[in-house]
Amino acid sequence: MVRLHVKKGDESQFLYETTVNVKTDELIDDITAIYNARLKVHRITAEMEELGKHGTFLPPEMLGLTDEQVEELKLVDTFGKSCIPSGGFTMNPDPIGRRNGKQPQSNMQQMIHRTITEAKHDISKKLVEQNVCLTLSSVEEEIKILNGACTIVYPMNLPPHDPIRLEFENKEDLAGTQDSLAIIGQGMGELWFCGKQIFRGKFLKDFIGSNEKTKVIVKIQKKGGGAPSREPALSAEDQRTLMLFAHQKQEEMKKLEEAEDDEYLNSAWADSSSLKKNFHGLGNLSWRPK
């Protein structure tokens, strides 16, 4: 099986296993789907961290308003009354006014935190160093686990306008957000290998050869972005080793320059009268008493 080390720019994303006979259309779409699914997990976990601290999302008309403004406009969070965390809640107001402040109890918070930590670990970029491959089904399974954790904490479900619920239902609206810039739309993904684009309508072996025991680096990006930067000739670790060696060599040369050119004259082998001294038995004299 061929292993593809998928990168975005110079940053590692994940490992993907396939064969050289796979169609490039299928390959590009699958890798793009995994890339987007990982982004979805990160968006969900970020919102779930806030859910564990400050409760469910406020209705759109109440976002960012102070308690006085809400009271003056006679606005009511109807879903906040029905979407109560299991075991009750304690009040912990959201400083940025996005959530209703009904924080779940500590045991529910711990479960949310544990689920978030495990999900992040299971799709982490560090899996590349551990030589673990990702699949679309494995990332989607993490989303299901996150959904299950929310269902346990909120048996009555989250409000329909809560970003977490919208993510689970694939109804999220990211227009105008920074997250929307990271997503690669359907059919808009490109893969590059060794500075050359992997075109659709072909097979992977047309670009990397027929050796199934190959591990190569491919770069994903949006269509029309041009060729990504090529991989450096040396890895970061090799560069550090080379710089350390160069520094040590430079320090050694400084020491040699500081040393006197005639320092060798103090050596025994450079003494012109050493042969005469040896004949007279004066070679290794010591004036200290034995």
Instruction: Share the mean pLDDT of the chain.
Output: 88
Mean pLDDT value across residues 4-33: 95
Q: What is the pLDDT of residue 289?
A: 60
- Whole-Å CA distances, 231 to 13, 27, 131, 211, 261: 15, 21, 19, 21, 46
* Beta bridge partner(s), residue 222: 189
Assess whether pLDDT exceeds 70 at residue 286.
no
Assess whether pLDDT exceeds 60 at residue 272.
yes
Q: What is the pLDDT of residue 66?
A: 83
* Lowest mean pLDDT segment, chosen from 34-48, 59-73, 267-281: 267-281
Burial of 99 (0-12, 13-18, 19+ CB in 10 A): buried
* Lowest mean pLDDT segment, chosen from 78-82, 171-175, 234-238, 280-284: 280-284
Mean pLDDT value across residues 13-39: 96
* Lowest mean pLDDT segment, chosen from 84-93, 157-166, 169-178, 222-231: 222-231
- The answer to whether 156 touches 83, Cβ cutoff 8 Å, is yes
Q: How many CB atoms lie within 10 A of CB 229?
A: 10
Beta strands in the chain (DSSP E): 2-8, 11-18, 89-91, 102-104, 189-193, 196-198, 215-222
The percentage of residues in the chain with a pLDDT greater than 70, rounded to a whole number, is 87
Q: What is the pLDDT of residue 99?
A: 92
Q: What is the pLDDT of residue 71?
A: 86
Mean pLDDT value across residues 112-134: 96
Mean pLDDT value across residues 185-193: 92
- The answer to whether 66 touches 97, Cβ cutoff 8 Å, is yes
pTM of the model: 0.79
